[in-house]
Amino acid sequence: MENTPKFAQIKQHIIDNIRAGVWHENQQVPSENELANQFKVSRMTARRALTELTDSGILTRSQGLGTFVASFKSQSSLLEIKSIAEEVRQRNSHYSCTVLSLESIAALAPIAIALGVEIDSQVYRSVLLHNENDTPLQVEERFVNPALAADYLQQNFSELTPHEYLSNVAPLTEARHTVEAIMPSEEVCQWLNLFNEEPCLQVIRRTWSSSGIVSFARLVSPGSKYRLGGHLTFKRPI
């Protein structure tokens, strides 16, 4: 252990605390200064440990808020992001959208952390119901950083999707996904016309542009009507 570089010791310390349940999902971890003091190293060494754990998906960092334990659910950055309207039309089906909510709200802590903004600052929220051939296909709840999409609330989302609009005003450079099966809430069941309890597919997605975090979205679809797929291409070994 004595021969192990200090930044690696800090990384192992953080990983051990997460595995032991000392720090839970979305819980804030010690700052660079606190780790530097604890391990008697420079802030640069502590920063390297936090940065490497963030790059590997173990931690997530929000500017001005701190560093947090990332979601334990498996993530994929290999899913192609398409507009749901495009997906429906590619099946030669009719796409339509029902706007359930479009508003400005004060960001609670989880939303502020996800968007990298101050707690209680104003963010935009939309709830949309995407339909295929007039049948509900997906509920989309999205929180948007106003600094990167100032006119979000003025858009007509029956004519273009939030994804299409945001891709124009803040072109995406990065996205992270969490995918899981859930049992929908009573409200979501009403929106999706689910009369019997049915597992749904939930995708949690954060998107970035070159200027910062653009949006944080929750997409819920009936398991019987929606699936995820993709195509991976692997490089041949040299």
- 8 A C-beta contact, residue 213 and residue 145: yes
The yes-or-no verdict on residue 76 having pLDDT over 50 is no
Number of helices and strands (H, E) in the chain?
A: 7, 8
pLDDT score, position 2? 59
At 79, the pLDDT band (50, 70, 90 cuts) reads: very low
Average pLDDT score over residue span 94-104: 94
Q: What are phi and psi of 189, to 5 degrees?
A: -60, -40
> What would the pLDDT profile of 150-191 be if each residue is shown by its tens digit?
999 999 998 889 988 998 999 888 888 888 888 888 899 999
Specify if 186 maps to a domain. Answer: yes
Domain containing residue 169: CATH number: 3.40.1410.10
Pair (25, 103) in one structural domain: no
Count of other CB atoms within 10 angstroms of residue 11: 20
* Average pLDDT estimate for 2-21: 85
Full-model pTM: 0.64
The verdict on 133 and 206 lying in the same domain is yes
In a domain, 76, yes or no: no
- 167 and 106 both lie in a single domain: yes
| Mean pLDDT lowest among 8-12, 89-93, 105-109 | 89-93
